[in-house]
Amino acid sequence: MTQPRATHRPTTVDPLLAAVHGGIRLIELGQPFFTGMPCSPNHPGFRMTLARRHGDLVRPDGGSAANEIIVTGGHVGTHIDALSHVSQHGTLHGGVDAQEAQRGGKFTTHGAEHLPGLLCRGVLLDIAAAHETATLPGGYEITVADLETAARQARIEVAAGDVALIRTGWSRLFDQPDAYLGKQTGVPGVGVAAAQWLAARGVVATGSDTTAYECIPPGAGHSVLPVHRILLVESGIYIIEHLALEELAASGLHEFTFLLAPLRIVGGTGSPIRPLAAVSR
């Protein structure tokens, strides 16, 4: 009896897998989470403590385990805003009634469980470098001209589907909570016209190394946030806050693969994240 001849099919290697095998360097874009970290007064702060310590319970074989309890708001530390986070005149993005959507202690529409995982092109717009300074002054409003200058210096064009990261240098103050939160000075950030410029280019998300992304003038607090309205409500563009962009800026990279995986918090308005920039070694 003749045996059928074995068929040898060529192995198809996924290009992304091939790139990973070639060596990938990951650059941290998020801040560490710790008790006492800077936090907007509008949100409950991050707290962590050990709920059980080694030795509290010892198994018959001598083993022991420790674990912790974590309490935090959804907009503390490096995080991404869901589209349920901000409303304007009672409506969320897409004209969704905010009151109806938030019944029952959670959002039934635009909740954080619908935040996308992102694997896309990231671009760094280094506004501080464009001004030849390590840190922009408190309360400085980033303009369209600033974005265009940073893009031109980086030799990139912001395009649809990108994640645009805005560096102000402000994360250099992260270990000084009062200075970082700009209680006296205000905080630099994107202005209305600059937000409209980003929205017109179709970015999927944009983030910065500050507490509120947009410009906070001295003494203004977070009383009015027009950029959040433009991005979240009008444009459906996600906002990332409290980024750590110093290592990325020091690397000289302005174009990279951006990775992000939010927690699927059902009905939430945001999620803590650990974003990464992936580049070839």
| Rama region for 203: left / alpha / beta (φ>0; ψ in -120 to 50; rest) | beta
- In this prediction, residue 207 carries a pLDDT of 98
Phi, psi of 119 (to 5 degrees): -140, 95
Selection from 169, 124, 170, 163 nearest residue 147 by Cα: 124
pLDDT tens-digit series, residues 192-210: 999 999 999 999 999 999 9
- In this prediction, residue 11 carries a pLDDT of 67
HEC per residue, the chain: CCCCCCCCCCCCCCHHHHHHHCCEEEEECECCCCCCCCCCCCCCCCEEEEEECECCEECCCCCECCEEEEECCCCCCCEEECCCCCCECCECHHHCEHHHHCCCCCCCCCCHHHCCCEEEEEEEEEHHHHCCCCCCCCCCEECHHHHHHHHHHHCCCCCCCCEEEEECCHHHHCCCHHHHHCCCCCECEECHHHHHHHHHCCCCEEEECCCCCECECCCCCCCCCHHHHHHHHHCCCEEEECECCHHHHHHCCCEEEEEECCCCCCCCCEEECCCEEEEEC
pLDDT tens-digit series, residues 101-153: 999 999 999 999 999 999 999 999 999 999 999 999 999 999 999 999 999 99
Q: Which positions of the chain have pLDDT values less than 50? A: none
